[in-house]
Amino acid sequence: MSMPYISALQAAAKWGISDRRVRVLCSEGKIPGAVKQGKSYKIPANAEKPADGREKPKERLRYLKWDNAVIATIDSANNVKFGEPEFNSVVSMYTHGADSWSAERFTEFLSERIVSRDRRDIENILFRCGLSNYDVLRIAQITHGIHPKDLLWISNSEDDQLDSVITDVFDSVFHQRIDLAGDSIDTPEGYNIKRYGVYDGQYGIYKQRISPLITDVESEVAVFLLAQKLGVPCCPAYRIDKDTVFSAFLYDFSKEYIVHFRRLFDGVRSDNEYKNLVSVRPQYKDDIAKMILLDFITRQDDRHLSNIAIKMSNGAESFYPLYDNGRSLFYEDTEEMVQAAVAEPEQYATTFGYAGTYWDYVKEIARERGGLSGFLNLEIAEAEITDILKEAGFTGYRLTGATRWIMKAIEMIKSL
């Protein structure tokens, strides 16, 4: 039985294209079974229309979601169009009311969310992502731009759900099956290895010692214990093993959100970081002042706008307890440096912001308040301080130096 054929004209009518286009497809061999007969073509009646490489595929959109609610669409060029730029207070802080972002602005947004290029294990992370170099857009695509400070993420379809995407990301990139409990794959700024997990029923971050010569693990625990004595709210820090500390979250990941102070600024800041912070959140002036006093007492060396935050809860906000306190109390200093600092604490106070030391700001706060009596609980005996440092794991010259620094700093504050 002979195969039934149709003409190019009949095929054109069937497929909705021109007969000239059908003849071109036949000449290019893109219609299986087509036979040239003279100047025309015979085409099998059951032939299917070839895919037209000239036709542009329909643009595939991605979605920026808050939890499982779509708040924006992302086109193939990474331009973002917001349907709800003021979906909630956190989203509003990102958008500042704008209904769209350029591709450049979107890339900047992603660069603040993805895993830091400074992580000690960054090569392992890139390998798991199938990448040979650090690429913001590719990493964000693979990790969906998830970050623990909020519920924003990138979805490839309207139907994708956050819970399942988080599970996929952890399994494929960070291999955290047991610890997975709604945590993000990204890390806050810092060089020590961090992973999100659960300890004693609390969500938080496991942080590993930066190097064998550094006591950031001990410092994280010591600052928490000392803050409790002084009356300064601070996220709990627990020693897990010789080289690991667990810093607990003090918010409900599923209902509450953390916004870094860096998000509260939309322009140039002055040289006075204390006044900068108070200017954007004057209601937290006392909290900010207590933070500065604690940071002076503990010789904090890494307090920046990404480790000062507010907590958003049911439309209300509050000053979030201090966290990421490991870079303090001579965590990386030599014995000679510690001795010099303890001998002249005014000269060796660490800086905060663009200009000025913590001691400068402590004196400014004292002038504003007419003194600091009763502001913190400064009635702590030297033996108590030593016990706190020993409990945190301090030994040797750092134990002696940290004890003397704390005692001198407290006396300096009392003198104001």
The amino acid that residue 335 corresponds to is: E
Q: Are residues 267 and 410 in the same domain?
A: yes
pLDDT at site 178 = 28
Same domain? 26 vs 142:
no
Single-letter amino acid code for the residue at 340: A
Q: Does residue 316 register a pLDDT over 80?
A: yes
Q: Where does the pLDDT of residue 57 fall: very low under 50, low under 70, confident under 90, or very high at 90 and above?
A: low
- pLDDT at 220 (0 to 100): 97
pLDDT exceeds cutoff 60 at 105: yes
Q: Is the dihedral of CA 300, 304, 310, 311 positive or negative?
A: negative
Average per-residue pLDDT in the chain? 85
DSSP for 334-385, written as a single string:
-HHHHHHHHH-HHHHPPB-SSS-BHHHHHHHHHHHHT--TTTS-----HHHH
| Residue 394 CB coordination number (10 Å) | 23
DSSP calls for 335-346: HHHHHHHHH-HH
On whether both 297 and 379 belong to a single domain, the answer is: yes
DSSP code of residue 216: H
Q: Identify the domain containing residue 349 by its residue range.
A: 247-414
Q: What angle do CA 151, 154, 158 make, to 5 degrees?
A: 100
Same domain, 39 and 113: no
Residue 17 sits in the same domain as residue 81: no
* Percent of the chain predicted with pLDDT > 90: 50
pLDDT digits (tens, 9 = 90+) for 290-310: 999 999 999 999 999 988 999
Q: Where a domain ends, among 172, 187, 202?
A: 187
Same domain, 167 and 18: no
> What's the confidence (pLDDT) of residue 197?
61
Q: Is 296 exposed, middle or buried (0-12, 13-18, 19+ CB in 10 A)?
A: buried
Q: Do 208 and 244 contact (CB within 8 A), yes or no?
A: yes
Tell whether the model's pLDDT for residue 256 goes beyond 90.
no
Closest CA to 209 of 276, 340, 120: 120
Question: Are 167 and 127 a contacting pair, CB within 8 Å?
Answer: no
User: Model confidence over 387-408: pLDDT tens digits?
Assistant: 999 999 999 999 999 999 999 9
Q: What is the pLDDT of residue 261?
A: 92
Q: How many domains, the chain? A: 3
Structural domain contains residue 233: no
Q: What is the model's pTM? A: 0.60
SS3 (DSSP) at 197: strand
| One domain, residues 82 and 16 | no
From the list 152, 154, 199, 146, the residue with the least C-alpha distance to 173 is 146
Q: Is residue 211 part of a domain?
A: no
CA–CA distance, 386 with 83 (Å, rounded to integer): 56
